[in-house]
Amino acid sequence: MTLLRRLSPCLIFFFALLWPGHFCVASPKPPDNAQVNCLRCHAEYAAGEHVHPAMTMGCANCHVVEGREGNSRVVLQKIDGGLCQQCHAPQRFEHVHLPYGLGMCTRCHDPHKSENPKLLCRRVNELCLECHLRGSDDAPAHDLPVIELSIDNRMGHPYARHPVSGYTDPIRGEEMSCVSCHLAHGGAMANLLKMGSEIPEDALNRNSETKDMCHMCHLRLWGLEGSVEGKKKKRR
């Protein structure tokens, strides 16, 4: 046993020579970012259904390695959304979603990869309801409105039997979700409601029946395709 202990450093050095790149040694000195192959140890950050395109630009595009108290630490180049805004120019809205306005991008998005579209941390409704589902002690607030839903969170907003999930969105053809009616970052209408111009395949006529989210969706449900002309023909 004593001999094995004495030989351990030599054996480690020997195996390191045989398999270079599979051993790493902690160093108090920050390595050169340009020469660090981060994904050798952190490959999971670049593997997923949806991967942030910035990953192809290199880790040093967002991160910097610096020394603190004798240790190496990986930190962001900027905080409070400033880093994301280098590529994603901020938009101005009349009504702004609070996390977006405060630069809290990673409150909803994963900066590396995700199994959900648009790099969302979770499915849309799961994410939204973390903040906006009313609990027993919650009260509505201007910056954090809350809603009440059925026990399975599939119905109840904006009225009791209106679905919020589990049904097909007549406009998008996908499952109904919070973003069927609301915009995620901000918009021109209160409560971040969508307008006709923000709905795919909106009718070209600009009459009042196709200008808001509710009319557009329900006319499509009734087979009228959002057209007043179609409505008149249906009645004949």
- Phi/psi for 219 (5° steps) reads -65, -35
Q: Which residues pair with 195 in a beta bridge?
A: 212
Structure tokens at 108: 């909803």
Percent of the chain clearing pLDDT 90 (strictly above): 35
The predicted pLDDT at position 53 comes to 92
* Side chain identity, residue 115: E
Higher local confidence (pLDDT), 233 or 129: 129
CA distance 131 to 125: 10
CA distance 195 to 93: 14
* Poorest-pLDDT segment among 88-92, 108-112, 160-164, 224-228: 224-228
Q: Judge whether 225 and 203 are in contact, CB under 8 Å.
A: yes
Q: Judge whether 125 and 178 are in contact, CB under 8 Å.
A: yes
Cβ atoms within 10 Å of 82's Cβ, excluding its own = 12
Asked if pLDDT for residue 166 goes beyond 80, the answer is yes
Max CA separation in the chain (angstroms):
99
Asked if pLDDT for residue 131 goes beyond 60, the answer is yes
Q: Tell me the per-residue pLDDT of 170-194, one tens digit each, with 9 for 90 and over.
A: 888 899 999 999 999 999 888 898 8
Q: Tell me the per-residue pLDDT of 135-159, one tens digit each, with 9 for 90 and over.
A: 867 666 777 889 999 999 999 999 8
Nearest of 118, 143, 113 to residue 131 by alpha carbon? 143
